[in-house]
């Protein structure tokens, strides 16, 4: 039996990146895709979920033939033959489609399990579909319920707990030390790529004051311009160290640029305020002995990677629990949704039974 | 309804303490499963325990016709009550995660401990200056400050745990839910100031009576109370001068609270056994029940 609710899509679970990049829908082509779907007779409602790792079409169509029409259209749209499309895509119906959207919105089905950005992308896709006036009672309700399911999952399970990239782990740790990052002053030694990403993460979490110091003054100036920071001459940074709450080391120096003695001296001047040292350099920029100094928290690249790995494992450990809960929620939601969905071609007795089940 | 009316003050207090224990177990369950418990639900459970305990203390107050601070049991229960009042004021305002968990835990442990030692509630004592309102205020403020110092001990413990987790790079489990060091450090300072202000107020009121009649006050009680006040003020001065900070400060705050708790039997012994028993609250409640039955 084919159901009235369908999901046709490809993601990192079904297709390799070479295929995904071919079926990705650019913003310019989105309108064409919507227009094409609108022209398919019997497609009552539809929405396109389009992110960097997945393209999925959610549709409500009571007639079984519509499935063939959608496949034909999507094959044409992407200039794929039907067999290739079917090979690299998934087709889900009814309760399975509901459950799938819940998993997608909750980050359970994401490449980086538990990532929070996906919920925003699902919301954007929902708004886009609404702008194209192709949503109806079933998809509207389905998407709203998926937002609720995602929120529940993030609040009540560990799927989104802990960060899984080095930069995000560093930001998380800064939050554990300082709480609000808005008042934190950040000094970056060197101008490495990971340091740059870490600064972006810190700024996204509210950090405002960023100072860069590099042996090549011009390089520091370039990065400061890009990150809206200020520049400090490398020869002067030691004198100013006590003014900073977070110091990121990413120089190419062959020996530590800050020693334990220097760190102790800094803390003598700011005993109440902790310092967070993030050592992203190899060889290390900060003497490991600094970790013994009270109120200084020193993390090197290995420490951050280990935390990211542990968080990733913990998130993956939560997948099973999340799936069980989301399946239960999907079953419940589908019981109500199928009453909103247009009647399929099936005997009246079956429809009566469905109504009876929901009534109970 | 009948069951509630038949309960005496001690039973109400015990029920309140049991609810604190339930709140602690509820939060502990979340912590052990590494899931964030509902703060609202935890607050509601603790508030329910608070209502039960307050009812018991109120009935005890009706019985003694004073603030119930006549023996170690009553004093500990009043410390627990104060601790919960401060948690209910501070917890939601500053959104301090896990403070409810620790507060409910300490309240349950202290409360149940005071219930299982019958000797602590065997003799009810009267205040050494009779039913003078000011001296009652003095006593209740002193014990209320212990509640503030109790919460300070808890936030200090949370500070130590967070510091340990960040230093040892162990961030999973309970450590993942702790507030930031900055928030805990600021909360410790505020609670230290709050406790000292209340205790100072209490000592100032008590001093008025002591100056008039020095023999009325047990010297041991006077010495201990003053020593505790002096210790906390010294900690505050050292903290302001940035001499005692971070982990040493947290350890001292925890140790001082335990010293304050251990001093309770001595402080309690400073009161005289009650000479005249007034109409008991249980008797009043039973009379009320009789009216209902009719």
Mean pLDDT of B154-180: 90
Q: Is A177 near chain B, with CB under 8 Å?
A: yes
How far is the alpha carbon of B109 from chain A, nearest alpha carbon, in Å?
Answer: 28
Please check whether residue A48 lies inside any domain of the structure. Answer: yes
Interchain proximity B180–A272, CB inside 8 Å: no
DSSP SS3 for B125: strand
In a shared domain, residues A246 and A142: no
In a shared domain, residues A230 and A322: no
How far is the alpha carbon of B62 from chain A, nearest alpha carbon, in Å?
Answer: 45
From first CA to last CA, the distance across chain B in angstroms is 15
Domain count, chain A: 2
Tell me what pLDDT residue B124 has: 64
Shortest CA distance to B127 belongs to which of B83, B81, B204, B74? B74
Interchain proximity B181–A176, CB inside 8 Å: yes
Calculate the alpha carbon distances from A356 to A142, A310, A328, A335, B54 in Å: 22, 48, 19, 11, 51
Tell me what pLDDT residue B209 has: 78
In a shared domain, residues A143 and A14: yes
Please check whether residue A32 lies inside any domain of the structure. Answer: yes
Calculate the alpha carbon distances from A86 to A54, A74, A90, A252 in Å: 15, 11, 7, 50
Interchain proximity A161–B180, CB inside 8 Å: no
pLDDT digits (tens, 9 = 90+) for B21-74: 999 999 888 887 766 677 889 999 999 999 999 999 998 888 877 778 778 888
Mean pLDDT score of chain A: 87
What sign does the CA torsion over B198, B57, B38, B161 have? positive
Residue A98, pLDDT > 90, answer yes
- Residue A163 · residue A308 · CB < 8 Å: yes
Mean pLDDT score of chain B: 83
In a shared domain, residues A98 and A49: yes
In a shared domain, residues A259 and A204: yes
Residue B270, pLDDT > 60, answer no
- Among A241, A260, A294, the domain boundary falls at A294
Q: What phi and psi values does residue B68 have, to the nearest 5 degrees?
A: -70, 85
Active site residue A52: yes
In a shared domain, residues A265 and A351: no
What's the whole-model pTM score?
Answer: 0.75
Tell me what pLDDT residue B207 has: 86
Question: What residues of B are in contact with residue A294 (Cβ under 8 Å)?
Answer: 246-247
3-class SS letters over chain A: CCCCEEEEEEECCCCCHHHHHHHCCCHHHHHHHHHHHHCCCCCCEEEEEEECCEEEEEEECCCCHHHHHHHHHHHHHHCCCHHHHHHCCEEEEHHHHHHHHHHHHHCCCCCCCCCCHHHHHHHHHHHHHHHCCCCCHHHHHHHHHHHHHHHHHHHHCCCCCCCCCHHHHHHHHHHHHHCCHHHCEEEEEECCHHHHHHHHHHHHCCCCEEEEECCCHHHHHHHHHHHCCEECCHHHHHHHHHHCCEEEEECCCCCCCECHHHHHHHHHHCCCCCEEEEECCCCCCECHHHHHCCCEEEEEHHHHHHHHHHHHHHHHHHHHHHHHHHHHHHHHHHHHHHHHCCCCCCCHHHHHHHHHHHHC
pLDDT digits (tens, 9 = 90+) for A298-325: 999 899 989 888 888 888 888 888 999 9
Calculate the alpha carbon distances from B94 to A12, B58, B184 in Å: 42, 29, 10
Please check whether residue A302 lies inside any domain of the structure. Answer: no
DSSP SS3 for B238: helix
Mean pLDDT of B271-290: 44
- B160, closest residue in chain A (CA to CA): A295
B34, B165, B169 member nearest A158 (Cβ)? B34
pLDDT digits (tens, 9 = 90+) for A137-177: 999 999 999 999 999 998 888 888 777 788 888 989 999 99
- Residue A179 · residue B183 · CB < 8 Å: yes
- Residue A85 · residue A78 · CB < 8 Å: yes
Q: Is B247 near chain A, with CB under 8 Å?
A: yes
Q: Is B35 near chain A, with CB under 8 Å?
A: yes
Question: What residues of B are in contact with residue A178 (Cβ under 8 Å)?
Answer: 180-182
B140-156 as b/e: b if 16+ CB within 10 A: bbbbbbbbbbbbbbbbb
Q: Is A271 near chain B, with CB under 8 Å?
A: yes
Task: Give me the helices (H) in chain B, please.
Answer: 2-6, 9-32, 39-64, 72-94, 99-116, 133-168, 181-212, 219-240, 246-262, 264-268, 281-293
In a shared domain, residues A94 and A58: yes
Please check whether residue A308 lies inside any domain of the structure. Answer: no
- B176, closest residue in chain A (CA to CA): A162
Give the domain CATH number at A277: 3.40.50.720
Interchain proximity B166–A310, CB inside 8 Å: no
- B186, closest residue in chain A (CA to CA): A272
pLDDT digits (tens, 9 = 90+) for A288-297: 999 999 999 9
Q: How many CA atoms are closer than 13 Å to the CA of A189, on its beta-carbon side? A: 27
Please check whether residue A161 lies inside any domain of the structure. Answer: no
Pairing of β B125-126 and β B272-273 = antiparallel
Question: What residues of A are in contact with residue B245 (Cβ under 8 Å)?
Answer: 271-272, 295
Question: What residues of A are in contact with residue B165 (Cβ under 8 Å)?
Answer: 176
Q: What phi and psi values does residue B281 have, to the nearest 5 degrees?
A: -65, -35
Question: What residues of A are in contact with residue B181 (Cβ under 8 Å)?
Answer: 176-178, 274
In a shared domain, residues A13 and A111: yes
Give the domain CATH number at A90: 3.30.460.30
Identify the bridge partners of residue A215 per DSSP, sorted by sequence position. Answer: none
Interchain proximity A271–B246, CB inside 8 Å: yes
Cα separation, A37 vs A47, whole angstroms: 9
Place of tokens 């104060």: B82
Question: What residues of B are in contact with residue A291 (Cβ under 8 Å)?
Answer: 167
Tell me what pLDDT residue A247 has: 95
Cα separation, A146 vs A117, whole angstroms: 14
Cα separation, B143 vs B136, whole angstroms: 11
Tell me what pLDDT residue B4 has: 67
Q: Is B245 near chain A, with CB under 8 Å?
A: yes
Identify the bridge partners of residue A249 per DSSP, sorted by sequence position. Answer: A189, A279
Interchain proximity A271–B245, CB inside 8 Å: yes
Q: How many CA atoms are closer than 13 Å to the CA of A128, on its beta-carbon side? A: 22
In a shared domain, residues A234 and A138: no
Which percentage of chain B shows pLDDT scores above 70? 85
Tell me what pLDDT residue B283 has: 42
pLDDT digits (tens, 9 = 90+) for A168-190: 889 899 999 999 899 899 999 98
Tell how far CA A275 is from the center of its chain. 29
Mean pLDDT of B151-179: 91
Q: What phi and psi values does residue B226 have, to the nearest 5 degrees?
A: -65, -40
Cα separation, A290 vs A261, whole angstroms: 8
Angle of CA points B265, B270, B275, to nearest 5°: 110
Helix axes A137-156, A301-340, angle to 10 degrees: 150
Please check whether residue A301 lies inside any domain of the structure. Answer: no
Interchain proximity A161–B176, CB inside 8 Å: yes
Tell how far CA A143 is from the center of its chain. 18
- Among A247, A263, A294, the domain boundary falls at A294
At A343, the pLDDT band (50, 70, 90 cuts) reads low
In a shared domain, residues A253 and A323: no
Tell how far CA B209 is from the center of its chain. 25
Residues contacting B119, CB < 8 A, separation 6+: none
In a shared domain, residues A70 and A191: no
At B268, the pLDDT band (50, 70, 90 cuts) reads low
What's the burial of A304, exposed, middle or buried (CB within 10 Å: 0-12/13-18/19+)? Answer: buried
pLDDT digits (tens, 9 = 90+) for A25-61: 888 888 999 999 999 988 899 999 988 789 999 999 9
Q: How many residue pairs bridge chain A and chain B with CB atoms within 8 Å of each other?
A: 57
B108-122 as b/e: b if 16+ CB within 10 A: bebbeebbeeeebbe
Shortest CA distance to A287 belongs to which of A255, A315, A252, A253? A255
In a shared domain, residues A206 and A78: no
Residue A266, pLDDT > 80, answer yes
Please check whether residue A102 lies inside any domain of the structure. Answer: yes
pLDDT digits (tens, 9 = 90+) for B112-151: 999 998 888 776 655 544 567 788 788 889 889 999 999 9
Note down the domain range covering A337: 5-156+313-359
How far is the alpha carbon of B35 from chain A, nearest alpha carbon, in Å?
Answer: 6
Interchain proximity A177–B246, CB inside 8 Å: no
Please check whether residue A176 lies inside any domain of the structure. Answer: yes
């Amino acid at each position: 039996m084919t159901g009235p609710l369908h999901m046709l899509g490809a993601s990192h679970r079904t297709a390799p990146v070479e295929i995904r990049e071919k079926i990705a829908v650019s913003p310019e082509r989105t309108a064409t895709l919507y227009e094409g779907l609108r022209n398919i007779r019997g497609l009552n409602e539809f929405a396109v979920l389009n992110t960097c790792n997945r393209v999925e079409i959610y549709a409500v169509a009571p007639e079984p033939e519509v499935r063939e029409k959608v496949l034909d259209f999507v094959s044409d749209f992407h200039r794929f033959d039907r067999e290739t499309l079917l090979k690299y895509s998934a087709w889900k119906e009814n309760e399975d489609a509901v459950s799938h959207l819940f998993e997608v919105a909750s980050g359970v089905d994401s490449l980086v399990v538990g990532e929070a950005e996906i919920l925003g992308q699902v919301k954007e896709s929902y708004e886009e579909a609404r702008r194209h006036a192709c949503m109806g009672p079933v998809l509207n309700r389905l998407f709203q319920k998926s937002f609720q399911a995602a929120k529940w999952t993030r609040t009540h399970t560990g799927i989104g707990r802990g960060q899984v990239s080095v930069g995000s782990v560093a930001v998380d740790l800064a939050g554990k030390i300082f709480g609000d990052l808005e008042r934190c002053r950040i000094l970056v030694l060197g101008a490495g790529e990971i340091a740059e990403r870490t600064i972006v993460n810190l700024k996204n979490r509210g950090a405002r004051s960023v100072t860069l110091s590099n042996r090549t003054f011009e390089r520091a100036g370039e990065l400061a311009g890009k990150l809206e920071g200020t520049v400090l001459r490398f020869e002067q940074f030691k004198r100013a160290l006590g003014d900073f709450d977070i110091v990121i080391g990413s120089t190419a120096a062959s020996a530590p640029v800050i020693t334990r003695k220097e760190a102790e001296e800094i803390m003598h001047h700011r005993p109440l305020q902790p310092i967070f040292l993030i050592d992203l350099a190899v060889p290390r920029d900060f003497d490991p002995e600094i970790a013994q100094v009270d109120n200084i928290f020193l993390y090197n690249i290995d420490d951050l990677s280990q935390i990211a790995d542990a968080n990733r494992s913990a998130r993956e450990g939560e997948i099973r629990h999340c799936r069980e809960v989301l399946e239960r929620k999907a079953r419940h939601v589908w019981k109500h949704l199928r009453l909103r969905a247009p009647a399929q071609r099936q005997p009246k007795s079956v429809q009566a039974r469905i109504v009876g089940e929901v009534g109970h | 309804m009948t069951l509630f009316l038949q309960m005496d003050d001690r039973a109400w207090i015990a029920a309140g303490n049991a609810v604190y224990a339930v709140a602690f177990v509820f939060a502990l369950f979340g912590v052990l499963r590494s899931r964030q418990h509902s703060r609202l639900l935890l607050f509601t459970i603790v508030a329910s325990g608070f209502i039960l305990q307050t009812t018991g203390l109120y009935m005890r107050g009706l019985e003694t016709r004073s603030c119930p601070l006549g023996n170690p049991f009553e004093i500990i229960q009043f410390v627990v009550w104060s601790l919960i009042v401060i948690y209910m004021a501070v917890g939601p305002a500053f959104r301090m995660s896990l403070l409810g968990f620790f507060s409910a835990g300490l309240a349950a442990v202290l409360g149940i401990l005071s219930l299982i030692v019958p000797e602590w509630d065997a003799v009810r004592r009267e205040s050494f200056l009779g039913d003078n309102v000011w001296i009652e205020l003095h006593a209740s403020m002193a014990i209320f400050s212990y509640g503030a110092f109790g919460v300070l001990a808890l936030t200090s413990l949370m500070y130590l745990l967070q510091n340990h987790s960040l230093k040892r790079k162990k961030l999973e489990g309970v450590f993942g839910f702790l507030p930031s060091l900055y928030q805990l450090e600021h909360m410790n300072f505020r609670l230290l100031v709050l406790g000292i202000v209340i205790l100072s107020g209490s000592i100032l009121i008590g001093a008025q009576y002591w100056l008039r009649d020095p023999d009325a006050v047990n010297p041991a009680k006077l010495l201990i109370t003053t020593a505790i006040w002096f210790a906390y003020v010294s900690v505050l001065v050292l903290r302001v001068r940035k001499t005692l900070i971070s982990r040493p400060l947290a350890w001292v705050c925890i140790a001082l609270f335990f010293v304050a708790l251990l001093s309770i039997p001595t402080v309690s012994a400073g009161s005289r056994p009650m000479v005249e028993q007034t109409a008991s609250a249980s008797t009043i409640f039973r009379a009320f029940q009789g009216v209902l039955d009719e």
